Amino acid sequence: MRVVWPLLVALCATGCATAPQQPDFRGYFADNNAAAAAGPQAQQEFFRRSQHPDFTDSTCELGDLTVQLDPAWSTLRPDPGFTADGVVPRGEVWAIGVEVTTRVNGSATGHQIGSQHLVVLDGRTFGFAPCPQ
């Protein structure tokens, strides 16, 4: 079998791109869950300081609610087409599947699986605070 190197080189030069390096979001999820364990005020503060800077006016009060997020790491993927309220956030956008558990006064009030979007901007990780209905 004959390998056609010039053809392979040409194909890679025109269409092969390296996949973006996956960020390490373990700290974000650990900080979120530590804040949830510390209570609603600590979690509200976490969401305030980790909210994407383009969307700081898009937060809401959680009251007595806390939100635990358990990521499914194998689902982490870039999501450059993501928009929040029709606006493309600045930075490198990633999506990951998460298991979400909400609690009030330590008792589980909700449990679901969904997607979480995180953005790496200027070397920091930002998210989008939940706004439960």
pLDDT tens track for 5-28: 444 444 444 455 556 688 999 999
User: Taking the model in full, what pTM does it have?
Assistant: 0.82
What CATH code is assigned to 25-127? 3.10.450
pLDDT at 1 (0 to 100):
42
CA pair distance 35, 39, nearest whole angstrom: 6
Report which residue type is found at 113. I
CA pair distance 121, 50, nearest whole angstrom: 11
Tens-place pLDDT, residues 87-100: 999 999 999 999 99
Q: What are the residue boundaries of the structural domains of the chain, listed by start?
A: 25-127
Tens-place pLDDT, residues 27-85: 999 999 999 999 999 999 999 999 999 998 877 888 999 999 999 999 999 999 999 88
CB 66 within 8 A of CB 109: no
